[in-house]
Structure 1
Amino acid sequence: MSVECRDDIVETGTGAIAAALLEHYDMHARDLPWRVSPATRRAGVTPDPYRVWLSEVMLQQTTVAAVTGYFERFTTRWPTVEALAAAPQEDVLAAWAGLGYYARARNLIACANVVANEHGGRFPETEAGLRGLPGIGDYTAAAIAAIAFDQPAAVVDANVERVVARLFAITTPLPAARPEIRKRTAEITPRELPGDFAQAMMDLGATICTVRNPSCLLCPLAPHCEARAQGIAESLPVKPPKKAKPQRTGTAFWIEQDGQVMLVQRPGKGMLGGMRALPDDGWVAGRDGSGQPPITGQWRVIDAAVTHVFTHFSLELALALYRGPQIDKVAIENLNGIWWPVERIAEAGLPTLFARAASVAIQHR
């Protein structure tokens, strides 16, 4: 669609920004598995709200490169929201393993159930309706409303935040700048094709208006960019100093018998909730682990540890290997443990931290 065909976009003021960006998007839109291209959309194909929702949940705090494979596997296995809602929770959590931020996976299951069972498999079309679903906040509601339903919603992710801060030379530090950034985004969002505009803004931030060394000479919004005119583009948005993360320690326990390792299912809420994992000593964000093994016996702490950085803290996880005696059924029941073949540990769906711990334990056992 040419700029001239966009009747609601006036090529003056903020309308010129939308016109220039949409024209650029027509030619340079990224080819992503959850996206309907501009040409396909002009042919009458509309985005599938299920695929839009799934991609937006997966993309929260995660890169496109990391999400692509997971998205394709999920939509192959569960092609509709009804199929996802009907899936066993442990299967969904296992399929999510390695993608991180596991509260998203639990919210994904809860949201799929609400949409399938209370909304007849149809996602609400408004921001307000979408915000009523589990795990959907302001940003995700705006993104789904705009991309799936062409609602003129102001969609502001980290990429859009950077583009808008530079476009209008907003020098107020984050997070205080966010209300103005959102207001400015709403002002330049066109009523025609707001979904394409939102995705065009995301693409611009991901490929041209990057954190470092922005490619201003290639930017379709360069003539409108106040930060470029002032020579301060790369310094925006202004971010607050990073706080040092607390350092925590803990221990994971490798209990192996007859070619099988004991796994436990973590509580449904909290760190890595609902995931299969190795037994550990109760470390959490607010305190170190106790160091106490889950059963008495002979243990060997190996000379290797796994480090992992969570959102609010860093963890150094030591590894202890069980050396005997033979474990009886009562001990297994007390731990709510299951035996899993060591040779199939990759199929257990362990979160990244415990998958790495298992790999180290296998090397040292």
Structure 2
Amino acid sequence: MTSQLFDSTHQQDPASLYVHIPFCKSRCFYCDFTTYVAPRSLVTAYVSYLKQEFELLARDTNKPLQTVFFGGGTPTYLSANELGQVFASLHQHFNLASDAEITVEANPGTVDAEKLVVLREYGVNRISFGAQTFDENLLMAIGRTHDKAAILSSVELALRHGFSRINLDLMFGLPEQTLDSVRQAVKQVVEMGVRHVSAYWLKVEPGTPFHKWQEQGLLPLPGEDSEADMYELVREMLSENGFVHYEVSNFATPGEEALHNLVYWHNEPYLAAGVGGHGYVRGRRYENVTALTDYARLLSAGMRPIADTHQVSAEESAEDTMMLGLRLREGVSAERFRQRHGASIQDVFFEQIQRLTGQGLIQEHSGTYRLTDRAWPIANVVFEEFVGALTVGAPTID
């Protein structure tokens, strides 16, 4: 059956763009992203090279962009003038849909009136603040440079400048974090009136200070049971206050879902720019170089700054559709799967569906496969069933 698989999206131009801005004031103790603490001269040079990449990248699509996401790092580490240059270049080289969702990540304390005016002028309509927690001691313990007051003032400033679509990132499972600390953070978010919340489990990554401290026995984490309780508390409190738990780590009031991230979870194509950016265009995943020197060298030579590419097979794409789609409350539609991949979910993943259904972790209703309520806290157990189910040993870069 797998020999009959295909992926219809591999013939489509992407209508989404991710832009990576790698600079931060300092590096958080848990962060393993491509980020740099760099002098302003490097930031200014990066803006120049990014504009060159936009010109090259725009050739990869003829579609108007429906979503654009600036992540990092800290995109708002750029000055107002630098932000203006980047967005002017974006509009120069790409056709943006009139109703495009344009999102910018920001750390609390890195936005001011001048920057917000520039962002609004160029159509940015969603800001995502990395709050992480409202506990002052925890903020210091994880290496954040802002305090609670900066979160409150940044959100208030954004609201005053017309940004109604605001996301706050929260983290749980932090060192010595308590259930009450999580409760207070969610209560604060609700009182602020934001309409979207991302709540992430701490994952200790190799190469980070947290990983080093964990190996030395110096990282007092709450433990799996406490972390599960924290996750359940977040789900319960946000649901009681009108938020829909629409993705494993994301909650929104109706109609406020993050459209750019839905592109990822629907396993759809997207462009990527900037050091360390990952894209997915016409069935090929690519990863940009992560070193600023390589980025500058390749673009100076008129070349795309790509470090690696991987052609996604029809089988691997079918696995991705299941793993990513099951992250969503909406689940995976059997009909859409058939139209996209040319076969039925039951035929392609019979064993996995039978096993997970028998374990009470997924359910089928009206032609759609979804996680059960009990599966949300242990969703990775479900996703792992599809990893290499059809493509054991196949490489991937994202």
TM-score by length of 2: 0.27
Flag the structure with more relative contact order, 1 or 2, with Cα contacts below 8 A and sequence separation at least 6: 2
| Structure in which a larger fraction of residues adopt strand | 2
TM-score by length of 1: 0.29
